Structure 1
């Protein structure tokens, strides 16, 4: 026999918080857009601890676009992806676009993009000791190749040693007779040929 004190028939109603129970500090958002006002609202208590500031974030975004891009026609699409990922704000879009155009328009770099048979971006390279490295760009041409690394901090000897190591490793493969190596420094806009 069914004990009616344990069961009741009817419609289950969802629990709805009363207006007074809703957290006053909560933000109700019908559409979510990344912009300065919303970012400020969420980050109002965040203090800049110095390790990843706006300048560094832009450097990471620029590096990501530059290591990926093979044709200037893809730039708007790549920037849209960074917007979607929340890595740049709408107000920064034009600044980022111009910064990438400035790099790609540099005379030598523009020539490599234009005259390359193939552009290899961010591919793993296994060095002699088994260490895996990823040069940013390798421009492959008929008679030679050009290695290019983008750097967004202060110049370091380590960067020069790294790109020399990439070049030496590629030369040992006997696929290229000549490989030029360059480092582009964002802070100065300087393109350094590494000999």
Structure 2
């Protein structure tokens, strides 16, 4: 198995990031967790070439290190917003199963759905941990990397959770007003 071969050659370390992971066994996941090796979840690419859906919720529950990837060579978009949304869709398909010729009770993998907060974690904190960067969250001692996006108007009052969900589901490139890296503005939309 690939994981055993990589481990034999000492390629699985806490600095290693392995992409996809849709064909990993329980033993593989245990070994990756023991070696502190991160899995880059590339959900758009996995739809096209992964031959499966990474069971993100299961891996998070078992303590595996996971970050969100945007494997453009196997997908159509490098956008983390698009990959966040696909991670959620893929997890829903894994939960429900896709073979509707089978009864709903036997298709799918129970409790595989992830939330927008889970997917956002993968794109921020999870990704930063994978690359051993002191970023991914707004907190003392962390590099301030963030975007300012234009919100879409609504006629009703929304909670902060609703605003977060709407921003994650609706933000596209043209909505990004500014980008800050290490607290310095590196992009301003004109």
Taking structure 1 as the reference length, the TM-score comes to 0.27
Q: Which entry has the higher C-alpha Rg, 1 or 2?
A: 1
Q: Which has the higher contact order (CA 8 A, sep 6+)?
A: 2
TM-score normalised by length of structure 2: 0.28
